[in-house]
Structure 1
Amino acid sequence: MTDDAPTAETDGEGLTDADQRTAVRERYSRIAAESSSTESSCCEGTDSCGDASADESRRLGYSDADLDAVDGDANLGLGCGNPTAIAGLETGDTVLDLGSGGGFDCFLAAREVGETGRVVGVDMTPEMVETARENVEANDASNVEFRLGEIEHLPVADASVDVILSNCVVNLSPDKPQVFREAYRVLRPGGRLAISDVVLTAELPDGVRTDPTSVAACVGGAASIPALDAMLTDAGFADVSIEPKSDSDEFIREWDDERDLSDYVVAARIEAEKPASRQRPSRGDAAE
């Protein structure tokens, strides 16, 4: 971390929380609809879109084995990293994915935790949840389920989760401190966060923070490393680590045709732990 990094919050200043959530929901509803519609797909019966999505996923850190392991419309080419690669999942873990989208990271996590583990995805977009549930059948994933809900108000029981994943979603929230408080609540003592997200490295150009499209596209709502560190610490987390990915400019600069967004944001690995108590509940208990 650098002492002179920007610390101002950029949670869509000038936008109400409701406006921000509406912009995000509309964008991802559209993406979910397009993923399941041949007519609206840019592929139109070809493999070009699938190839492009696979190439993008490789740049985010997914292996060919990861891409081959998941069927259906789970991989929508979204995200800014591979949180399952940093999570250190173990057999029997209960895993929660914040903003699970089509479920790609959930299905990868399900491979790691095995039949005795469980994976729960939460997304606020009904169309995404519907798509993800269809993908459960496509992947015959009996240990994966998806719930409709906001990451600021998780439909998950207290102290019922071993590991929380998230892929470029926390930046979309208008209330990030509440997201981390909720994450802390649902984690078991000794549980941990493994998040891929974008962080702010320089002040955004005028108008970007308040542009609903920019906020919904994982830019306008990005927070600085010091701000995120403070949020996690205030929520009760320990061993906070936020490590920028030096090569993320390769894909971030393609997010906008008018400006190089890698001048302002960078993808990062965000990790933290909920301090362990003397007696930790056994792994794999259901997230009610």
Structure 2
Amino acid sequence: MATSTELKEIVKQKYSEIAQSEPSSGPVTSCGCGCSSEASVPTSCCSPATDLLEGIQMAESYQNMEGYVSGADLGLGCGLPTQFAQIKPGDVVVDLGSGAGNDCFVARAETGETGRVIGLDFTEKMVSRARQNAEALGYTNVEFVLGDIETMPLPNNLADVVVSNCVMNLVPNKRKAFEETYRILKPGGHFSVSDIVLEGDLPEGLQRDAELYAGCVSGAIQLTDYLAVVDEAGFRNIRLQKKREIHLPEDVLRNYLSEADIQAYREEGKGIFSVTVYAEK
């Protein structure tokens, strides 16, 4: 198992590669969120074994949302946090793991010219690409900062709203990340974060291949544990705004489970889920 430092370097290397790729034309169906947790997979989150999982949809489409910029959409998310973030005109919004800037530009459409949007990412090439996108759009109130979510280079009580899209589960120290989120929020501020979580234990073989398929899964924890981390960071009024199962087709499950086990798996509500979580400071 890779160390925390090694995990960050693996993710940073992969996202540097993605930053130089072509933008998505819609929801991606493979390798969306990052890399495997295994240090032996440093350059790609896909492998021949993951052909079994091809076609599983992780991301959701932004194309009908105001402010959407296709050139900033690299298809790396698993939800639409800005849709639920209750952003008001004039708000200061911080996007954690901002990538090429897609959520920042959608947030800017909500906060308007009187607001301020700050994207934070720890990959230099992502920050560079996002800045180029903002410059091309002529946005003077959208900025991008290089920094680690566990130690944000941002002041206390800065943001009215924090958003993030399928990033927290890639962070090794989730408790620290949410404590930092709490710190940068103004009193009474709130966050809306989309992420990948688990419910119940996945079959071992399926867990392994799903991790290779999308790094989202390798860092995912149980939903109850995720909400507990948020609570322990000091947040209140914690609630789920959306929960969506990442559907695993029957032919995929048959590679790991008997028909009877598949039925039990479905009935017990086990699986991989995209959730959008809201909480207030």
CA distance in 2 between counterparts of 1:215 and 1:193 reads: 28
Greater relative contact order, per chain length (Cα 8 Å cut-off, separation 6+): 1
Cα distance change on mapping 1:51 and 1:151 into 2, 3 Å: closer
> Which letter maps to 1:19?
E
Contact 2:166–2:195, Cα closer than 8 Å, also in 1: yes
- Aligned letter for 2:15? Y
Query: What SS does the aligned partner of 1:90 have?
Result: coil
Note if contact 1:167-1:196 (Cα within 8 Å) is conserved in structure 2: yes
- The aligned amino acid for 2:181 is A
CA RMSD of aligned residues (A): 3.1
Equivalence for 2:2: 15
> 1:185 and 1:226, CA in 2 relative to 1: closer, same or farther beyond 3 A?
same
Return the alpha-carbon distance in structure 2 between the equivalents of residues 244 and 126 of structure 1.
31
Within the candidate set 10, 22, 29, 1:35 is matched to: 22
Check the 8 A contact 1:20/1:216 in 2, yes or no: no
Q: Which residue of 242, 245, 267 maps to 2:243?
A: 245
- The aligned runs of 1:39-188 (5 Å cut-off) are 50=25, 60=60, 62-66=62-66, 69-71=67-69, 73-188=71-186
Shift of 1:143: 0.8
Give aligned-pair identity as a percent.
40
Cα displacement (A) at 1:245: 2.1
Instruction: Supply the AA of the counterpart residue of 2:124.
Output: P
Query: In the alignment, is the contact (CA less than 8 A) between 2:99 and 2:130 conserved in 1?
Result: yes
Q: Deviations over 1:213-240 (max 9, x none)?
A: 6497211111112111211111110011
Give the TM-score taking structure 2 as reference length. 0.76
Q: Secondary structure at the match of 2:71?
A: coil
Structure-1-length-normalised TM-score = 0.74
Q: State the secondary structure of the residue aligned to 1:25.
A: helix
Tell me if the contact between 1:172 and 1:215 (Cα under 8 Å) persists in the aligned partners. no
Aligned-residue offset at 1:153: 0.7
Q: Distance in 2 between matches of 1:27 and 1:114?
A: 33
Q: Deviations over 1:9-44 (max 9, x none)?
A: xxxxx32101211121111111111238xxxxxxxx
Distance of aligned partners of 1:225 and 1:57 in 2 relative to their CA distance in 1, 3 Å threshold? closer
Give the CA deviation at 1:156: 0.7
Cα 1:264–1:23 shift into 2, 3 Å = farther
State which of 245, 264, 278 in structure 2 corresponds to 1:271. 278
Q: How many residues align?
A: 241
| Residue segments in structure 1 that go unaligned for 5+ positions in a row | 1-13, 37-48, 275-288
